[in-house]
A and B are shown apart, each in its own frame.
Chain A
């Protein structure tokens, strides 16, 4: 167990490409840290630098107070779980898990005992004599975990360990990974591109983009106070809706959903932010929409009428999809996100919006509905820089229950 400090870490490849720029992070002993971001954002490179599989171009890496920049992976005493599991096919499950101990020169009795304990924790006891090729994907994944656990390293590094599993197994393993980490209390750095894993597993989440850390914080912090458009769009599923807007005087804001008046605390925060630009991008999370009929008139917020394109009833929620006319919101951050999600095509005009409504909502596919949205939960971003203008604002708790005055 150890604390890990990354101090201004930079990774530049010989061809000049900058993979990670000025990465600063202090990871406390026993903390579960998630590095998340779209592919190519430098998260795996960062992990490999901590592991010692890649050189650090600049900056310092400290494990337990010692600078380990120039130490070989074997001298850092950290274990890694690979995306592909990387099990040794010529060894049995038991030999695979015992391999790190064998290399460390531990005697056979102790190896057998430790492997036995780890196997029990991972429910692999009856498979110890089998070879990896005879195991299922989930079992292989557990063997890979076991190999990391047996030697009680200072830290676990996990590089998308669940991404090769099917969806159901992934959810199951996710809770198991979390449980194991909590039981062992070992410092863990976990790389993923899946924001759900990031939200559910981590004590703290590091969102990266293009080699630069965008925001570090607890999952709730990232969800409620995203520092910029990129974080706002990346965290949350279904993701936040973005609409171009214009700030008018007196706390009024115009978007393609119509005019709305901002609550006082947001207006004050906006005044303080003193953005030169009147052009903003407004972010609304799907759950901050509601069927207008279910919201009392006194509750504030804003209402609008829109034809609903598609309704998906999930039982606990209803997802309503509709299109609002006008230019979509554009910024480098959002284009990056769209490219990562694979929908970087601009189909027709208008912006597609997702709303998560109460199951009691009476919206019908193809019919016009009156929807309400909670103005107290709006996120407002500078259209040019993508920075959140309301980052520090404390808001009233989830708007639909406690209406702002």
Chain B
């Protein structure tokens, strides 16, 4: 028996290690690349022999990159915030209310989620140039919200369905207006779901390359994934591998922070104790 558990532990450790190695090799490689100087880039060593911050210095000296970083943070936070607000309301309605056209709304949002985004790039480009939205923050925020909403509505409505309806009735009986019931009883309970959804939406906006490259033309609204594509080496013949690796490392940091920050709020089983069974 004892041996069996030890053996099982060993097996699991081995499997976990394998998965971790598989996941972390590219990450370590990128970090390693970002710490190499241009001379040792192709020396064949997995880890840098003489680490240097040169690439990081180079990208932070590049005003296009710092500007892109600000654009990314601003655009993604606004898009996430707006998508969460609308998504919460829509998901609540879908989970709780019975109204004509409910199925249509669900079907439409599913349709949007399935639609190939690349097919929309050209029409969006035309519309945005006509409206003067091209190469503005708003020009990216709007499509991001559009594609974030189905995701938000789906995840959130699943969370809302978990909240016992009786709590809302109880709030009504306790003298709450529908808004008070939503704000003071339902929303606090839906918070884990809201944070989970916020993380997913933020990541999907943050990593978008397609719209960022197609709907921007200057650093006024270009986000980091797009800006990285415009990096140039020190000379025409030098590839900007180091700076790109450094930029990739830098843009991963906000997501890690975002997840770690909100993970604390994702407390499982918050609704336990509300109703019996």
**Which residues of chain B are near A132, meaning CB under 8 Å?**
273-274
- Of B174, B180, B273, B274, chain A has the most CB atoms within 10 Å of the CB of B174
Query: Known contacts being A51-B173, A103-B176, A104-B175, is A140 close to B273, with CB within 8 Å?
Result: yes
Please, what's the 1-or-0 string for B265-277, where 1 marks a CB less than 8 Å from any CB in chain A? 0000111111111
Answer yes or no: B25 CB below 8 A from chain A CBs: no
Complex CA gap A157/B170 in Å reads: 11
Question: By the criterion CB–CB under 8 Å, are A74 and B175 in contact?
Answer: yes
Flag if A86 contacts B188 (CB, 8 Å).
Answer: no
Are A86 and B164 in contact, with the CB atoms below 8 A? yes
A337 lies within 8 A of chain B by Cβ? no
Contacts of B277 in A (CB 8 A): 84, 164
Q: Which of A75-83, A216-224, A287-295, A314-322 is near enough to bind chain B? A: A75-83
A133 to B273, CA, bound (A): 4
> Max chain A CB contacts within 10 Å: which of B167, B170, B172, B177?
B170
| B166 is an interface residue with CB less than 8 A from chain A | yes
The reply to whether B275 and A84 contact each other, CB–CB distance below 8 Å, is yes
Inter-chain contacts of B169 with A (CB < 8 A): 53, 80, 82, 86
Distance in angstroms from A234 CB to nearest chain B CB is 26
* Measured CA separation A38–B177 after assembly (Å): 33
B150 to chain A, nearest CB (A): 28
Of A60-68, A87-95, A276-284, A369-377, the segment with at least 4 beta carbons within 8 Å of chain B is A87-95
Cβ B276 vs Cβ A164 within 8 A: yes
Q: Would A137 and B273 count as touching, CB distance under 8 A?
A: no
> In the complex, A43 Cα to B174 Cα: how many Å?
21
- The answer, yes or no, to whether B185 is at the interface (CB within 8 Å) is yes
Within 8 A of B (CB), among A83-114: 84-90, 99-100, 103-104
CB neighbours of B203 from chain A (8 A): none
The answer to whether A87 touches B274, judged by C-beta atoms less than 8 angstroms apart, is yes
Which A residues touch B272, using CB under 8 A? 89, 133
CB contacts under 8 Å to A, within B246-277, are 269-277
Q: Which residues of B contact A82 (CB under 8 A)?
A: 166, 169-170, 275
Q: Provide the bound-state CA to CA distance between A100 and B189, in Å.
A: 18
Contact at B166–A89, with CB atoms within 8 Å? Answer: no
Contact B166 A86 (CB under 8 A): yes
CB distance from A44 to the nearest CB of B (A): 12
In the bound complex, do residue B276 and residue A85 qualify as a contact, i.e. CB atoms below 8 Å apart? yes
Q: Closest CB-CB distance, B264 to chain A, in whole Å? A: 16
CA distance A134 to B269 in the complex (A): 12
- Closest residue of A by beta carbon distance from B273: A133
Min CB–CB distance A136 → chain B (angstroms): 11
Tell me which of A74, A78, A100, A134 contacts B273 (CB under 8 A).
A134
Bound: A266/B276 CA distance, A = 50
CB-defined interface of B158-173 with A at 8 Å, one 1/0 digit per residue? Answer: 0000001011011111
Residues of A within 8 A of B (CB): 51-53, 72-74, 78-80, 82, 84-90, 99-100, 103-104, 131-135, 137, 140, 147, 151, 157, 164
In the assembled complex, 12 residue pairs joining A and B whose CB atoms fall closer than 8 Å, in A order, are A73-B172, A74-B177, A80-B169, A85-B275, A85-B276, A86-B164, A89-B273, A100-B174, A132-B273, A132-B274, A140-B273, A164-B277
Contacts A74-B175, A86-B166, A103-B176 given; 5 further ones with Cβ under 8 A? A74-B172, A86-B275, A88-B170, A100-B174, A132-B274
